[in-house]
Amino acid sequence: MTVTIADLTRQIRIDHISAVYTAARVAREVAAEAGLPEVLAERAAVIASELAGNIDKHATDGTVFIHRSLAGAGVDIHAADSGPGMTDLDYWRIDGHSTTATLGTGLGAVGRLATEFRIRSAAGSGTTAAARTLVTGTNTTGVAHVRLAREGEDQCGDGLALADLPDARTIAVVDGLGHGPGAAEAAETAIDLFRRNPGRPIRDHLTAMHRSLRQTRGAAVALARISGGLLEFCGVGNIGGLVLTPGQSRPLLGMPGIVGFTLPDPHIRTVELPEHHLVVLHTDGIGNGWRGAAPLGPLPAPALLAADLAHRYRDPHDDATLIAVGSGTGTP
């Protein structure tokens, strides 16, 4: 059994060449915090430098997101922009076609240095890239996330944890009321309770959290368990959920209430999951404007979706957390 609690995502706006060096420094710091050996920390720094430099030179309104990976011992580096996009990705992924004046290696080196690398770009619609550097031997999983504090604050009132059990995967997303230290206390209380016994039934989780959060300002909570082609879901408050399958989008609706104050009788919804699916949960710091027609073709990679939504739909005046869990493995 493994329980991973999401650290805070570090966000670097790429609005000046100095931000490229900041991205490299932050990647190196996060890698060290994750316990990665120095060679992997330097790889993470090069990856962040190249992705940030690409934005600085060719794009506008770009952001790099860096955090410890939920997939294992490693670092996730996401980059998204609203620039002109690239019409020939294969060309830019060839080594030697540097996108910046930094290291002279380009996107080809990013692909070689990263354990996993995905990039999506189209003329006129910007570029989204997701790279992951993991310790050798770490099992990769189709999961990605962001967890962002309200701009200008160091503490995040959202909490996120992922538990891999022998026969199931369970997700807890918590949104403490408001923001700042009080919201963070509520979220941390709920996540710590989840961490201690992740395998308990969802209904029992909510009941236990309700008791523990009575001494806090309360929170919205969503719990999801994926096992054997089935999804169990229960949400209380304003945490959104969605199951994406090719050609179909199914919302996961929560119930009104505040865990710690007014908990309704929990209604556990069960959803059958086809072979190819993507489960997305997010707090209201990620707007719902992205929800539309489901993709008719292949589902987006979880990390590309997480990076894109954090860049385009994040409310900077609120904490924002999102997790995307896909049916495949090794797809960031």
Outline where 34-118 has alpha helix (H): 38-58, 89-92, 106-113
Provide long-range contacts, Cβ within 8 A and 24+ apart, for 269-274.
Answer: 269/232, 269/233, 269/234, 270/230, 270/231, 270/232, 270/233, 271/230, 271/231, 271/233, 271/243, 272/229, 272/230, 272/231, 273/226, 273/229, 273/230, 273/231, 273/243, 273/245, 273/327, 274/229, 274/245
Q: What CA–CA distances, in Å, run from 331 to 155, 187, 234, 299, 300? A: 30, 29, 26, 11, 10
pLDDT, position 245: 87
pLDDT, position 293: 56
pLDDT, position 232: 97
DSSP string, 271-290: EE--SS-EEEEE-TTB-GGG
Q: What CA–CA distances, in Å, run from 226 to 93, 168, 171, 231, 325? A: 36, 6, 9, 5, 10
pLDDT, position 100: 44
For residue 307, which of 127, 107, 89 has the smallest C-alpha distance?
Answer: 127
Q: Are 44 and 33 in contact (CB under 8 A)?
A: no
pLDDT, position 298: 75
pTM recorded for the entire structure: 0.92
Q: What are the phi and psi torsion angles at 163 (to 5°)?
A: -115, 125
Please state, in angstroms and rounded to a whole number, the distance separating the CA atoms of residues 73 and 34.
6
pLDDT, position 330: 45
Block mean pLDDT (10 aa), the chain, length 332: 93 95 97 94 95 89 95 92 70 48 63 90 86 80 94 95 93 96 97 96 96 96 95 94 88 94 93 92 92 68 94 95 81 56
pLDDT, position 98: 47
pLDDT, position 101: 44
pLDDT, position 294: 57
CB within 8 A of 261, min separation 6: which ones? 213, 214, 218
Q: Are 67 and 17 in contact (CB under 8 A)?
A: no
Outline where 142-270 has alpha helix (H): 181-196, 202-212
